[in-house]
């Protein structure tokens, strides 16, 4: 039995390129450098003694900078290459984060927040495109799953370190964050090969006389992106609004809420790669995306159950949500990259990254507003309705492709 489990895990991680592993290690380091972002509002209110409205403005500016960064990062990826974009964004963003720790003037902090979020988000489409380029044939979905695993681990490690450092010194938190970001840029510079599949000059020759499709000209992709934005908007509420529901309505304490939400990352770390290795290339990506969206919808259905045993119900909701996430997100990545080639990969990656940035900007604020105005049950009902529409929309796209 133990041997079979060991073999399953070994097989799920085998066959991936060396570059894919290196990219995932770099992503782990880079996402660990996100340790200061969750503490920005506390830094404004507790350390600088600014009003909550100023903290809200900082968070909004971070979201706006992310949208700009995702757009620019994707375009630059196709112009100067994903390696250069990752190196520049990680190092420059890290340096500005270190500078952030020395500034107390609010207007300057606003400008720096825009700049930092711009470079931080520019990294993502470049990294996304790099995975598609480095992945061996037939391993694209597992390559993205490995990268997701690294991202989740990076956030977990970063959040833990961030909490410890912030308890000693908020300025030191930004210094550590920026230093780790610079380290991830240097890691790409030193570890990843400078060229892949020929030189930029050869690529320029190859593209002559060839029509390269732009993402905004790809109607199927635009419809897919709209549905993905709808899904990710509902996705973010599980980590923004639902914890408040656990606290206010079901009276679950903070420690238990943290452990319940932590199950998400633990389940993904333990099972996603094994699951993907079993189902990759068996059915179309959209088939699994539809399944995933319906599982996420089911996680909100569970929240209607009476809170007699709230911890068990909350765990059930998070488990359904995590199963949906493991089905949907890796195959969304695969679908996006299946629409691209080496000349437009960055712009497609930017479009996908942009959908996440928009969701982060509008999802939580809309969710909190609806919960406050109409109550949590109406919010869950709206989420379920949107996710059913979303699954139906993905299924229609699949029929158009068949």
**What's the CA gap between 363 and 182, in Å, rounded?**
31
Which DSSP string do the residues of 250-286 spell out, in sequence order? Answer: S---HHHHHHHHHHHHHHHHHHHHHHHHHHTTTS-HH
pLDDT for res 280: 78
By CB atoms closer than 10 A (0-12, 13-18, 19+), residue 168 is exposed
CB 89 within 8 A of CB 126: yes
pLDDT for res 198: 44
Task: Please report, for the chain, the start and end positions of each structural domain, with discontinuous segments joined by +.
Answer: 15-193, 211-402
Q: Give the angle subtended at the CA of 294 by the CAs of 384 and 266, to the nearest 5°.
A: 105
| Backbone dihedral angles phi then psi of residue 306, each to the nearest 5 degrees | -65, 140
Q: What is the pLDDT of residues 251-268, one digit of tens each?
A: 888 778 878 877 887 788
Query: Left if phi > 0, otherwise alpha if psi is -120 to 50, otherwise beta: which for 198?
Result: left
Are both 15-193 and 211-402 of the same fold?
yes
pLDDT for res 212: 66
pLDDT for res 191: 81
Query: Left if phi > 0, otherwise alpha if psi is -120 to 50, otherwise beta: which for 39?
Result: alpha
Q: What is the pLDDT of residues 322-353, one digit of tens each?
A: 999 999 998 998 898 788 777 777 788 888 88
What is the CATH architecture of 211-402?
Answer: Up-down Bundle (1.20)
Q: List Cβ neighbours of 151 (8 Å cut-off, separation of 6 or more).
A: 27, 28, 31
State whether residue 62 is helix, strand or coil.
Answer: helix
Instruction: With a cut of 70, list the residues of the chain below it in pLDDT.
Output: 1-6, 8-12, 34, 38, 41, 159, 194-212, 307, 402
Look-up: residue for tokens 């765990």?
Answer: 315
CB 319 within 8 A of CB 266: no
**What's the CA gap between 361 and 67, in Å, rounded?**
9
Q: How far is CA 45 from CA 58, 115, 208, in A?
A: 11, 21, 55
What is the CATH architecture of 15-193?
Answer: Up-down Bundle (1.20)
pLDDT for res 292: 96
């Amino acid at each position: 039995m133990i041997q079979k489990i060991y073999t399953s895990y070994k097989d799920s991680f085998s066959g991936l390129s060396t570059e894919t592993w290196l990219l995932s290690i770099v992503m782990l380091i880079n996402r660990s450098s996100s340790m200061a972002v969750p503490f920005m509002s506390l830094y404004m209110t507790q350390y600088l003694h600014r009003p909550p409205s100023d903290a809200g403005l900082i968070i909004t500016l971070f979201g706006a900078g992310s949208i700009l960064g995702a757009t620019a990062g994707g375009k630059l990826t196709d112009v100067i290459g994903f390696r250069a974009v990752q190196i520049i964004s990680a190092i420059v963003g890290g340096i500005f984060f270190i500078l952030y720790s020395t500034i107390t003037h609010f207007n300057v902090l606003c400008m720096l927040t825009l700049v930092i979020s711009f470079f931080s988000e520019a990294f993502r489409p470049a990294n996304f495109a790099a995975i598609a380029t480095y992945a061996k044939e037939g391993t694209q979905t597992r390559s993205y799953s490995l990268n997701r695993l690294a991202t989740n681990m990076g956030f977990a490690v970063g959040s833990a370190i961030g909490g410890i450092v912030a308890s000693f010194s908020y300025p030191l938190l930004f210094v550590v964050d920026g230093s780790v970001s610079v380290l991830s840029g240097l890691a790409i510079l030193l570890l990843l090969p400078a060229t892949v599949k020929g030189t930029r000059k050869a690529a320029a020759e190859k593209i002559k006389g060839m029509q390269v499709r732009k993402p905004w000209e790809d109607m199927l992709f635009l419809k897919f992106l709209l549905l993905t934005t709808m899904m990710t908007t509902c996705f973010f509420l599980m980590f923004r609004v639902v914890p408040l529901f656990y606290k206010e309505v079901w009276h679950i304490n903070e420690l238990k809420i943290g452990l319940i939400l932590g199950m998400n990352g633990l389940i993904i770390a333990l099972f996603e790669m094994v699951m993907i290795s079993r189902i990759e290339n068996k059915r179309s990506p959209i088939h699994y995306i539809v399944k995933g969206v319906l599982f996420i919808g089911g996680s909100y259905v569970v929240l209607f159950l009476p809170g007699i045993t709230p911890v068990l119900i909350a765990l059930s909701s998070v488990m359904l949500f995590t199963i949906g996430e493991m089905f949907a997100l890796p195959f969304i990545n695969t679908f996006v990259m299946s629409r691209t080639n080496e000349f437009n990969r960055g712009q497609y990656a930017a479009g996908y990254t942009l959908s996440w940035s928009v969701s982060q900007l509008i999802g939580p604020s809309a969710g909190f507003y609806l919960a406050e105005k109409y109550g949590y049950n109406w919010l869950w009902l709206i989420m379920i309705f949107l996710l059913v529409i979303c699954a139906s929309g993905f299924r229609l796209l699949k029929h158009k492709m068949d």
